[in-house]
Amino acid sequence: MRIKTKEDRRDRIKCRIRKRVRGTDARPRLTVFRSLAHIYVQVVDDVTGRTIASASSVEPPVKAALPKASRGGNVAGATAIGKTIAERLIEKGVKRVVFDRNGFLYHGRVKAVADAAREAGLEF
């Protein structure tokens, strides 16, 4: 597969990561997707193919709870999404996850989601 676009590059990295990172019932996979305007996070059990929880900056309750200056396209919004997903997982009794950066570089909004989730009580 030749790399012609940034999306091709991210797909190759994603495949490389997915070979090593698997979500189980005890430790599901927390995966992050970021677009220019929004950020989406979901927690998946790869054994059963089931999504345990999800959060995004598009959801009306989450969007209303975001502070004035934060939105899905900046670090403050990503931090709020990280806290939201951690709260939802802890309610369901999940404290340990494996982090899947989904081919994105681990900095900026992706790192903000991970740090906020760790601060809110998730272990990875």
What is the model's pLDDT at position 2? 81
Checking if the pLDDT of 60 tops 70, the result is: yes
What is the model's pLDDT at position 1? 64
The percent of residues above 70 in pLDDT, for the chain, comes to 99
- Tell me the average pLDDT of the chain: 93
In our burial notation (b when 16+ CB lie closer than 10 A, e otherwise), range 85-112 reads bbebbeeeebeebbbbbbbbeeeebbbb
Do residues 101 and 110 lie in contact, with contact meaning Cβ atoms separated by under 8 Å? Answer: yes
Phi, psi dihedral angles at 31 (to 5 degrees): -110, 140
User: The tokens of 111 are what?
Assistant: 């790192």
Tell me: the pLDDT tens digits for 22-57? 888 899 999 999 999 999 999 999 999 999 999 999
Class of domain 6-119: alpha beta
pTM over 0.85: yes
What is the model's pLDDT at position 64? 87
User: The tokens of 17 are what?
Assistant: 């990561």
